[in-house]
A = this chain, B = another copy of it.
């Protein structure tokens, strides 16, 4: 029985093209380096930037999709879990790695330099999440023509001045 939630949610840009390898069994393993930059004002009122570079790994079908559609510079949404591992190098030194193992990805904006195509798309992993579709175009039904909800927005003038409602 599982106990615990371990979830990472990232939106960032790829620092390089994805790298894909295959296991002996033929499963794609695609890795990307993903930058998330945040900014804040320091005490002197200057902007301070900090970028974190995440190692993100996509397995299986999701690895194939990442390899095909992502490129250096691509903006992407990734959801996954944080994993830690250690590997002993050739020099006998242990090295520690943190990887985000992706469960879901969504391409954003589509301004990567590389791949001609792409557009935006959302994918979940492998044969495991039949709810979302991946891959080529695929017959697409007519766009939802859902009627706008008749629910009119309530008035806003009843908020207090310096406080944001719950």
Q: Which residue numbers of A lie inside 8 Å of B, CB to CB?
A: 1-16, 19, 21-27, 29, 31, 33, 35-43, 46-55, 59-60, 72-73, 75, 77, 79, 81-87, 89, 93-98, 100-101, 106, 108-111, 119-123, 125-126, 128-146, 148-166
In the complex, the answer to whether B122 meets A5 with C-beta atoms within 8 Å is yes
Query: With contacts A16-B148, A108-B108 known, is A36 near B4, CB below 8 A?
Result: yes
Shortest beta-carbon distance from A152 to chain B in Å: 8
Question: Chain B residues with Cβ under 8 A from A53's Cβ?
Answer: 84, 146, 148-149
The complex places the Cα of A73 from the Cα of B153 at a distance, in Å, of 20
Q: List 21 A-B contacts (CB under 8 A).
A: A2-B38, A5-B9, A11-B77, A13-B144, A15-B145, A16-B148, A21-B157, A23-B158, A23-B160, A23-B161, A24-B161, A38-B131, A47-B141, A50-B144, A53-B84, A54-B82, A86-B149, A93-B93, A94-B150, A97-B154, A131-B164
